[in-house]
Structure 1
Amino acid sequence: MNDPASAPRVSGNPVRDLPLPDLTGFTHRWVDADGVRLHAVQGGQPDSPAVVLLAGFPQTWWAWRKVMPDLADRFHVIAIDLPGQGHSERPDISYDTHTVAAHVHAAVEALGVSTYWLVAHDIGAWVAFSLALKYQSQLRGLALLDAGIPGVTLPDAVPTDPEQAWKTWHFAFHLVPDLPETLLTGREREYVGWFLKVKTRSSDTFDDAEIEHYAASVAADGGLRASLAYYRDAARSARKNHDALEQQRLRLPVLGISSSHGSIPDMAASLRPWADHATGIVVPEAGHFIPDEHPGAVAVALTDFITADD
């Protein structure tokens, strides 16, 4: 990762005070995505199938750094920071997942990609599910990793059993007006570090530099507001998902990647009521942050999924 003091000032970067990590073989791009400037990192084989990667809270595109080089041997790989995340713009817009999905899809098209495989984790999977409903004809397949998707796989109520509540307590906390900002501003590192330490199978999955990177992204101008907005607009996301699912099902191939110690025990089973072709795997000895904990297993599962018809 780059030294923050020497972070490059790349033209078009809307979050210039945030250190910008590089990944060998990949380049940074910023594109106008229907009025929102989004950050993309791309590499691999430009004439091969495109694979678009979306990360969730409290991470950035950097969550995929261990998976991307393995995929780049066979695919055109693009990791995109969502609005409000990483080095993407943090606009004052609705963060319901259908609105965000339109911006993400516009970014992919601005990069010259017309059809693609979509892979997403956590809140990224919220956006990816809605994107698949809106732009199904332009997707070749959808892979979702350990995510409670509003109106789909997310429970209607936060559990009160302490054995389960620690996994989802923050959903309700993030909905409270103003209080999270009051308590978290200036303490982003402690908050982000709790998620990265507690929700992994091994507490040493993330080192101090990685925790600092993600905390800095949340703390950067507008980052905390945007992070909370995804949760605060989750009810709107759920309604739009329900409306869309009344008109259609997912007909494209869907892969659910679960983990032995994650939030959703069986992603594929939770998606089958809305998908015609849903298959799944469970990564053993993994917590919520599967791409960081077992990147090799994720890369193999995605490669097998994408090349199944070859």
Structure 2
Amino acid sequence: MARVLHNLLLFLIRLAQKIRVLGYWSLIYGYCALCTIVALLKLWWNIILRPTTTFQWVIRETPPACLNDTSLGTHCYVRIKESGLRFHYVAAGERGKPLMLFLHGFPEFWFSWRYQLREFKSEFRVVAIDMRGYGESDLPLSTESYRFEYLVTDVKDIGYNRCCLVGHDWGGTIAWLFAIHYPEMVTKLIVLNCPHPSVFTDYALRHPSQLLKSSHFFFFQLPRFPELMLSINDFKALKALFTSRSTGIGRKGRWLTPGALTGALNYYRNVFSSLPLSQNHVRSPVLLLWGERDTFLEQEMAEACRLYIRNHFRLNIISGASHWLQQDQPDIVNTLIWTFLKEGEGRKSYRN
């Protein structure tokens, strides 16, 4: 009898787990379907009811002059042995100085760090890379190539011993994960508008408002259709991220050149299937900068990150700043970074 009850209990546990998994993926793909319907309605409205709208793709064979501005640094390439991929980066400052490594987010590339490259090259060897699938870095085609473990390994294998690591948006997620798994390589961690991965997961599951703000996560799970929606009308949807009143950069002189879309979207397409963190605490000193006008992330998550820091933690909420705060409020961002860098450890601790 005891054996029968034991087997029945195991069966019920396994059934509950399967139901939970089924419910999880049903929620994800159900939300994907809802987002697709909304996107199709918008497309139908623009093309059928507003026939003046046309499909446009603009090919720019000559890059804008600002990308070749020598004051920003030197364009370089490195091939990583582990993956065989070639990465493009822009570097400035003297070799041998402490390394400050910048990781951009979606849908950007190295240029989003232009204000920081100029600012910190006097004291650091500053390097802003094009992440896998962006800009002039290699673009693997398979979705599997953008799993978190590969993205973190890219950062590890670029070629250095230690660095001050700076990340924004998706670059912030990779920076958090890198600091968790390779703490000996991170002297200080600086993250802009990106919560600790565990904070984001826990908060999003408990707050429908954040799920709504993250609806693009679900829409981007679809193959090909997001690429179409983001690229029509000369990438109008992407430009709106940077220029609209609700989500855009608050500064004048805004500029955008989107890269290949599939690689960038593949970051999102692996987010639900990635393995959970084996351990999730950060042992490096952490500065978290947060734009008050961020419309993609709830501000409450910023303070919650404190629970996962086993070292000095500083949080600064920048009033009036958008999600793109390193471009939106570069002077304030740079000042706060300098203050953080001068706290605690001396400059010698940054040496490679």
> TM-score band, normalised by the shorter chain?
0.7 to 0.9
> Which structure features the higher share of strand residues?
1
CA spacing shift, 1:299–1:84, aligned 2, 3 Å = same
Q: Does 1:191 align with 2:237?
A: yes
Instruction: Please list the CA deviations of residues 5-45 of structure 1 after superposition, one character each: whole Å capped at 9, or x if unmatched.
Output: 5449xxxxxxxxxx954341510111012311111111113
Q: Does 1:24 align with 2:62?
A: no
Find the aligned partners of 2:245 and 2:211 in 1 and give their Cα distance. 12
1:135 maps to a residue whose letter is Y
Secondary structure, aligned partner of 1:252:
coil
Instruction: Please list the CA deviations of residues 48-71 of structure 1 after superposition, one character each: whole Å capped at 9, or x if unmatched.
Output: 211101110111110010121111
CA spacing shift, 1:235–1:255, aligned 2, 3 Å = same
Find the aligned partners of 1:66 and 1:202 in 2 and give their Cα distance. 17
Q: Which moved more, 1:150-159 or 1:300-309?
A: 150-159
1:289 — aligned with what? 324
- 1:116 corresponds, among 159, 163, 172, to 163
Q: Does 1:178 align with 2:224?
A: yes
Q: Does 1:250 align with 2:250?
A: no
Q: Does 1:226 align with 2:263?
A: yes
Tell me if the contact between 2:109 and 2:130 (Cα under 8 Å) persists in the aligned partners: yes
- 2:151 corresponds, among 97, 100, 125, to 100
CA spacing shift, 1:20–1:188, aligned 2, 3 Å = same
Q: Does 1:71 align with 2:108?
A: no
Tell me if the contact between 1:259 and 1:282 (Cα under 8 Å) persists in the aligned partners: yes
Find the aligned partners of 1:158 and 1:64 in 2 and give their Cα distance. 33
Instruction: Please list the CA deviations of residues 83-108 of structure 1 after superposition, one character each: whole Å capped at 9, or x if unmatched.
Output: 0111111113421222111012211x
Q: Which moved more, 1:41-50 or 1:283-292?
A: 41-50
- 2:105 corresponds, among 43, 56, 66, to 56
CA RMSD of aligned residues (A): 2.6
Instruction: Please list the CA deviations of residues 153-178 of structure 1 after superposition, one character each: whole Å capped at 9, or x if unmatched.
Output: 244359665xx777433122112333
1:261 — aligned with what? 293
2:272 — aligned with what? 235
- 1:127 corresponds, among 155, 171, 174, to 174
2:38 — aligned with what? none
Structure with higher Rg: it is 2
CA spacing shift, 1:61–1:203, aligned 2, 3 Å = closer
Find the aligned partners of 1:166 and 1:199 in 2 and give their Cα distance. 19
**TM-score, structure 1 length as denominator?**
0.80
Report how far residue 244 of structure 1 moved. 3.3
Report how far residue 283 of structure 1 moved. 1.2
Tell me if the contact between 1:81 and 1:87 (Cα under 8 Å) persists in the aligned partners: yes
Find the aligned partners of 1:52 and 1:127 in 2 and give their Cα distance. 12
1:144 maps to a residue whose letter is V
CA spacing shift, 1:158–1:268, aligned 2, 3 Å = closer
Runs of 4+ in 1 over 6 A off after TM superposition: 199-202
Q: Which moved more, 1:285-294 or 1:96-105?
A: 96-105
Could you list the runs of 5+ residues in structure 1 that have no partner in the other structure? 9-18, 218-222
Tell me if the contact between 1:291 and 1:298 (Cα under 8 Å) persists in the aligned partners: yes
**TM-score, structure 2 length as denominator?**
0.71
Find the aligned partners of 1:206 and 1:243 in 2 and give their Cα distance. 44
Q: Does 1:272 align with 2:306?
A: yes
Percent of aligned pairs with the same residue?
25
> Which structure features the higher share of helix residues?
2
Secondary structure, aligned partner of 2:149:
helix
Find the aligned partners of 2:154 and 2:147 in 1 and give their Cα distance. 11
2:334 maps to a residue whose letter is A
Report how far residue 202 of structure 1 moved. 6.3
Report how far residue 204 of structure 1 moved. 5.4
Tell me if the contact between 1:196 and 1:206 (Cα under 8 Å) persists in the aligned partners: no
1:300 maps to a residue whose letter is T
